[in-house]
Amino acid sequence: MKVERELPPGEARELLELTVEIADKELAPRAAQFEEEGRFPREVFGLLGEAGLLTLPFGEDVGGGGQPYAVYLQVLEELAARWAGVAVGVSVHTLSCHPVSVFGSAAQRQALLPWQLSGAALGAYCLSEEHAGSDPSAIRAGAARDGEAWVARGAKAWVTHGGEADFYTAFLRTSEDPRNGISCFHVDARSPGLSAGAPERKMGLRSSTTAVMHFDDVRVPGDRLIGEPGQGLKIALSALDAGRLGIAAVAVGIAQAALNHAVDYARERRTFGRRIIEHQGVGFLLADMAARTEAARATYLVAARRKDAGQAFGRQASMAKLIATDTAMAVTTDAVQVLGGAGYVREHPVERYMREAKITQIFEGTNQIQRMVISRHLADS
């Protein structure tokens, strides 16, 4: 099923067509094997970088694509519909570039962003720790001044691209102040003392490497502090608002892929002399899946358009992340049900979509955290 999209005039439609072409030719044929083997597809990110798809929402003056967030997210959705692990990687790279783009000094933007957005570099985002997932204020990994530089010690958990990235956007404690004691750093992957643990063995997104990053007296130059000392929590939360929209788009892509496969199967599979899509029990199930997917897409686009207009969008981003990821879980579960026993085996991709959907409800802030964010907005409105 081709998605009908509302796009701004100009190059956006051509960009989406290019994305679909690349996704169909380069991503879809590789996805199942790479996921099965748990193999990180660095060459795929290279292809996307060459096509300009790693840098879309950043300004052209620093090497970005200059695209509205609403367009970037629809590109992300199309990638996710073929290979969710790669789409998550694009979203994480965008998240990792956000601090320098928004909070970096003019010198940092000039020195770092063109390389980050070159298409050849890949970023990672180091925020969570084993004891500090939903509560980033509990971060313990720290950095202490040493002359003009900083020395970082500790470990960061659940790092997407851990051990594979070219740079790490790391949030480290620089004072004991509970709210203003965390700072943001750009850390080069080649820094002595920086190392990755063994990749996590995950339920889904197996091609997307996730690992603990160890900071063993890693020396970070003073000009790699992003923003002011103690501003890290503000930077992290700002980046997460945008990152949640990325995950919402990925979730919708997973849901759309599951819906497409279920519809194709239901058109071909026959029981009791009819295609199963003509049985009301299946047809209504597919109708609900389609409605939920369309609604989730509309929700993330509303939030994205607010962001593009310079309006506050944090509440809408949490709503989009909550609705889209719950939708992905429901739609992929129903897709397995439509296929019956065939949906439970690996010959069909819906079992993979179901496994991939689950993590979208957890990372970039669990859906319980999204409900907390939304309820706080309601209390303060």
Please say whether the beta carbons of 106 and 157 come within 8 A: no
What pLDDT is attached to residue 8? 85
Domains of the chain, first to last: 12-116 (1.10.540.10), 123-233 (2.40.110.10), 235-380 (1.20.140.10)
Q: For the chain, how long is the longest CA-to-CA vector?
A: 80
Look at residue 161 and tell me whether its pLDDT is greater than 90.
yes
- Tell whether the torsion through CA atoms of 3, 89, 220 and 107 is positive or negative: negative
pLDDT level of residue 136 (50, 70, 90 thresholds) = confident
Contact 139, 87 (CB under 8 A): no
pLDDT number for residue 16 = 95
Q: Categorise residue 340: left if φ over 0, alpha if ψ from -120 to 50, beta otherwise.
A: left
Name 341's Cβ contacts closer than 8 Å, sequence gap at least 6: none
% of the chain at pLDDT higher than 90: 90
Read off the pLDDT of residues 168-183 as tens digits, 9 standing for 90 and up: 999 999 999 877 899 9
Which residue carries 């980050």 as its tokens?
116
Give the number of other CB atoms < 10 A from CB of residue 278: 14
Q: Is 171 helix (H, G, I), strand (E, B) or coil?
A: strand
Amino acid symbol at 363: F
What type of residue is 357?
A: A
**pLDDT for res 232:** 95
Beta strand pairing status for 274-275 and 149-160?
A: unpaired
Distance in angstroms (rounded) separating the CA atoms of residues 40 and 239: 25
> Mean of the pLDDT values across residues 195-202?
97
Catalytic positions: 364
pLDDT digits (tens, 9 = 90+) for 84-134: 999 999 999 999 999 999 999 999 999 999 999 999 999 999 999 998 777
Q: What pLDDT, on a 0 to 100 scale, did the predictor assign at position 9?
A: 81
- Whether the CB-CB separation of 290 and 349 falls below 8 Å is answered with no
According to DSSP, the residues that pair with 220 across neighbouring strands are: 150
Residue 199 binned pLDDT confidence (cut-offs 50, 70, 90): very high
132: DSSP letter? B
Whole-structure pTM over 0.85, yes or no?
A: yes
So what's the pLDDT on residue 55? Answer: 93
The pLDDT tens digits for 273-288 are 999 999 999 999 999 9
